[in-house]
């Protein structure tokens, strides 16, 4: 579904990711793990079209999309749940969902909202409330719902569990498992290695912007090397 | 109650009512200037001082078109459309190239542009100002017991209608939703298929068109358009958007009306000491000393 070839990206003159090769296969969850500053979020935002590419290429469904802007990418089917949710906080829950479906046909909006509310009934109860006044868990549900409104085939999720209560994390991960069962391709950035390995199929660990471990989730669960790498400890191993 | 006392009370009530109406006339005009300014600030965090130049350009365009066609109904919308397009060009040529620079860079550019516009008006239209050959809306009408010029009523009705339309556009349409989302987070708005560039163009078009309408209104009030006419109303508008809470459209609207009313009452009670503009600035300085974050700042 998505392939990164020797991708180097960053901000201004600063490189956050160096020569990264990554493949997200159709219908699978690829977990991108690593400590703070490893380059996970930069990779996600680069795939979404928000971070400058210095070198390398991005392929989506075999088409080179390296030069595409964020709008073209979302229309092609790449959805984003950004780090920190980044909801439109002064807008209502409903309005956030409507915006999520902006790149799709107007007639699909009502159906899309119904599906999101079925997935997260709590959002239905908060429909006309300002997004900024929701709890952290509700905000994450809304961020996922907003991304799903664009009917993505590839969903990019940055820090799903960050700052959430355990119950909210359970709900969000249940939805992620459900989306995977429906065949959606997901790239999941997580600091909670244990949580990510519960749903992931493939794992890539980054440290200082480069890959330090790669393998299947089953291998990752048995690998102390991978645990060290995800904690940013490879230099000490 | 004695008849003399009752008559005095009635006269006072009528005076206050008249002052209130006068305040609303000026307040609603300040509102359409300040709302345009606050739209730009809300979206780009730029203090768009050159808005004053667009206000004056609106006055010139409205007067020239009205004088040559004899129709204000044609003159006002055409002036608004022309100035709206000029506003979009200002964004594209002046602000867009420096958006990633510190905010003071855009502020300096804006001040420079305003000064250049004033000088351009002086060169093209002359230093002494222009007047309507046959000023429209000057007939006197009676409204609720007080006498007003038709232009006074047109200002209140026109301003409130425009602000109502703007509110409808912002709250009830997809364009308005896209605009509000872009104000909140332009990067993420783009992730959902919103063209941030188009939203910014629209923002400048609407803000500048509102300034043009205000320029036409003030030219009708005084039957004069001059190169420096943008100065005082726009300095007031800058203070109003701070008073209303920067970027807060509803706060700006209320602050404009309050300022208009304070000015109107001030001219009666302290008009011997301070003129209308001085009263407005004194009021703004006092309020901002007490609440520097503005009356309606979002916390």
The interface pTM score, or ipTM, of the predicted complex is 0.85
Task: List the single best residue of A46, A50, A70 to mutate versus B (max B Cβ within 10 A).
Answer: A70
Q: How far apart are CA A208 and CA A17, in angstroms?
A: 7
Residue with tokens 């964004």, as numbered in its chain = B91
Q: Which residues of A touch B (CB under 8 A)?
A: 48-50, 69-71, 74-75, 80, 82, 86, 88-91, 95, 98-100, 102-103, 106, 146, 150
Q: Which residues pair with A214 in a beta bridge?
A: A204
Q: How far apart are CA A147 and CA A151, in angstroms?
A: 8
Window from A26-30, A197-201, B129-133, B284-288 with minimum mean pLDDT: B284-288
Residues 6+ apart with CB under 8 A from B163: B28, B31, B32, B35, B253
Question: In the predicted model, what is the mean pLDDT of chain B?
Answer: 90
| Cβ <8 Å between A86 and B188 | yes
- Residue A236, pLDDT score: 41
pLDDT, one tens digit per residue, over A170-223 is: 999 999 999 999 999 999 998 888 888 889 999 999 988 888 888 888 888 887
Mean of the pLDDT values across residues A154-165? 90
- Residue B8, pLDDT score: 84
Helix (H, G, I), strand (E, B) or coil at A211: strand
Greater confidence (B14 vs A79) lies with A79
Residue % of chain B over a pLDDT of 70:
99
Helix (H, G, I), strand (E, B) or coil at A186: strand
- Residue B193, pLDDT score: 87
H helical segments located in chain B: 3-44, 51-69, 72-90, 103-125, 150-172, 174-184, 186-191, 196-222, 231-243, 249-269, 276-290
Question: Scanning every residue of chain A, which has its alpha carbon at the shortest distance from the alpha carbon of B182?
Answer: A88
Q: What is the dihedral of CA A207, A48, B172, A139, to 10 degrees?
A: -30
Please name the member of A91, A103, A150 whose beta carbon is closest to the beta carbon of B184.
A91
pLDDT, one tens digit per residue, over B204-223 is: 999 999 999 999 999 999 99
Going from N- to C-terminal start, the domains of chain A cover 2-88+153-236
Q: How many CA atoms lie within 13 A of B212 on its CB side?
A: 27
Window from A131-145, B52-66, B266-280 with minimum mean pLDDT: B266-280
Q: How far apart are CA A223 and CA A231, in angstroms?
A: 13
Chain A residue numbers with beta carbons less than 8 Å from the beta carbon of B181 are: 88, 91, 95, 99
Q: What are phi and psi of B101, to 5 degrees?
A: -90, 165
pLDDT, one tens digit per residue, over B135-194 is: 898 899 888 778 889 999 999 999 999 999 998 998 899 999 999 999 999 999 998 989
B15 alpha carbon, distance to own chain's centre: 26
Work out the end-to-end distance of chain A between its first and last CA atoms, rounded to an integer number of angstroms.
34
Q: What is the dihedral of CA A120, A121, A125, A127, to 10 degrees?
A: 40
Task: Please provide the CATH number assigned to the domain covering A2-88+153-236.
Answer: 3.40.50.300
Please name the member of B180, B185, B192 whose beta carbon is closest to the beta carbon of A102.
B192
| Cβ <8 Å between A71 and B190 | yes
As a whole number of angstroms, the longest Cα–Cα distance in chain A is 56
Question: Scanning every residue of chain B, which has its alpha carbon at the shortest distance from the alpha carbon of A77?
Answer: B192
Mean of the pLDDT values across residues B93-98? 94
Dihedral sign of CA atoms B108, B109, B113, B116 in order: positive
- Residue B181, pLDDT score: 94
- Residue B298, pLDDT score: 59
Q: How far apart are CA A1 and CA A96, in angstroms?
A: 27
Q: Which residues pair with B223 in a beta bridge?
A: none
Q: How far apart are CA A196 and CA B288, in angstroms?
A: 52
Work out the end-to-end distance of chain B between its first and last CA atoms, rounded to an integer number of angstroms.
50
Highest mean pLDDT among A50-54, A160-164, B76-80: B76-80
CB B206 within 8 A of CB B24: no
Residue with tokens 């009752």, as numbered in its chain = B6
- pLDDT over 90 at B274, yes or no: no
Q: Residue A1: name the closest of A151, A148, A152, A103 by CA.
A: A152
- Residue B146, pLDDT score: 84
pLDDT, one tens digit per residue, over A62-81 is: 899 999 999 999 999 999 99
pLDDT, one tens digit per residue, over A14-59 is: 889 889 999 999 999 999 998 888 899 999 999 999 998 999 999 9
Residue % of chain A over a pLDDT of 90:
62
What is the gyration radius of the CA atoms in chain B, in angstroms? 20
Q: Which two tokens stand for residue A4?
A: 């990164």
H helical segments located in A32-165: 40-47, 70-76, 93-100, 108-119, 121-125, 136-148
Instruction: Chain A: give the shortest CA distance to residue B190, in Å.
Output: 6
- Residue A25, pLDDT score: 93
Q: Which two tokens stand for residue B282?
A: 């004194």
Task: List the single best residue of A71, A84, A113, A158 to mutate versus B (max B Cβ within 10 A).
Answer: A71
CB B197 within 8 A of CB B182: no
- Residue A237, pLDDT score: 37
Q: Residue A168: name the closest of A195, A202, A132, A133 by CA.
A: A195
- pLDDT over 60 at A92, yes or no: yes
The model's pTM is 0.85
Task: List the single best residue of B100, B179, B188 to mutate versus A (max A Cβ within 10 A).
Answer: B188
Q: Which two tokens stand for residue A139?
A: 């905000």
How, if at all, do strands A185-190 and A29-33 pair?
Answer: parallel
Q: How many CA atoms lie within 13 A of B59 on its CB side?
A: 31
Helix (H, G, I), strand (E, B) or coil at B46: coil
- Residue A232, pLDDT score: 60
- Residue A229, pLDDT score: 64
Neighbours of B206 (CB within 10 A): 23
């Amino acid at each position: 579904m998505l392939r990164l070839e020797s991708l180097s990206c960053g901000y201004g003159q600063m490189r956050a990711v160096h020569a990264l090769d990554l493949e997200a296969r159709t219908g699978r969850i690829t977990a991108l793990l690593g400590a703070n500053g490893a380059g996970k979020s930069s990779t996600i935002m680069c795939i979404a079209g928000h971070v400058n590419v210095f070198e390398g290429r991005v392929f989506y469904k075999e088409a080179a999309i390296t030069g595409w802007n964020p709008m073209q990418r979302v229309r092609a089917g790449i959805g984003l749940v950004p780090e920190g949710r980044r909801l439109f906080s002064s807008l209502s829950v409903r309005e956030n969902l409507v915006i999520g479906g902006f790149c799709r046909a107007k007639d699909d909006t009502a159906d899309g909202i119904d599906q999101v509310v079925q997935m997260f009934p709590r959002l239905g109860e908060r429909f006309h409330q300002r997004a900024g006044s929701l709890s952290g868990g509700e905000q994450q549900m809304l961020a996922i719902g907003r991304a799903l409104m664009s009917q993505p085939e590839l969903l990019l999720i940055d820090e799903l569990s960050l700052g959430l209560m355990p119950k909210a994390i359970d709900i969000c991960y249940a939805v992620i498992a459900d989306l995977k069962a429906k065949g959606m391709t997901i790239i999941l950035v997580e600091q909670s290695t244990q949580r990510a390995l519960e749903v992931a199929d493939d794992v890539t660990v980054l440290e200082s912007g480069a890959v330090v471990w790669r393998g299947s989730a089953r291998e990752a669960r048995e690998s102390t090397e991978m645990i060290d790498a995800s904690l940013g400890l490879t230099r000490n191993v | 109650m004695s008849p003399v006392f009752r008559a005095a009370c009635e006269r006072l009530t009528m005076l206050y009512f008249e002052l209130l109406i006068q305040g609303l006339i000026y307040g609603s005009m300040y509102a359409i200037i300040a709302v345009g300014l606050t739209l730009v600030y809300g979206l780009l965090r730029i203090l768009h001082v050159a808005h004053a130049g667009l206000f004056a350009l609106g006055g010139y365009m409205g007067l020239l078109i009205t004088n040559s066609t004899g129709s204000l109904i044609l003159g006002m919308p055409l002036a608004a459309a022309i100035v709206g397009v000029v506003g979009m060009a200002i964004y594209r040529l002046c602000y867009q190239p420096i958006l990633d620079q510190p905010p003071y860079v855009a502020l300096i550019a804006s001040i420079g542009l305003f000064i250049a516009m004033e000088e351009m008006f002086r060169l093209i239209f002359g230093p002494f100002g222009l007047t309507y050959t046959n000023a429209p809306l000057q007939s006197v009408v009676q409204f609720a017991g007080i006498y007003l010029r038709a232009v006074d009523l047109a200002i209140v009705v026109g301003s409130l209608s425009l602000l109502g339309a703007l509110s409808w556009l912002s709250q009830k349409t997809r364009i308005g939703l896209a605009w509000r989302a872009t104000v909140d987070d332009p990067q993420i708005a783009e992730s959902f298929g919103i063209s941030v560039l188009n939203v910014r163009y629209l923002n400048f078009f609407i803000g500048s068109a509102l300034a043009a309408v205000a320029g036409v209104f003030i030219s009708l009030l005084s039957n004069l358009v001059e190169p420096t006419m943008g100065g005082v109303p726009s300095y007031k508008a800058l203070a109003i958007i701070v008073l209303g809470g920067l970027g807060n459209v509803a706060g700006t609207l209320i602050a404009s009306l309050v300022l208009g009313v304070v000015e109107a009452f001030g001219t009666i009670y302290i008009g011997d000491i301070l003129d209308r503009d001085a009263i407005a600035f004194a009021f703004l300085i006092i309020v901002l000393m007490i609440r520097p974050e503005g009356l309606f700042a979002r916390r």
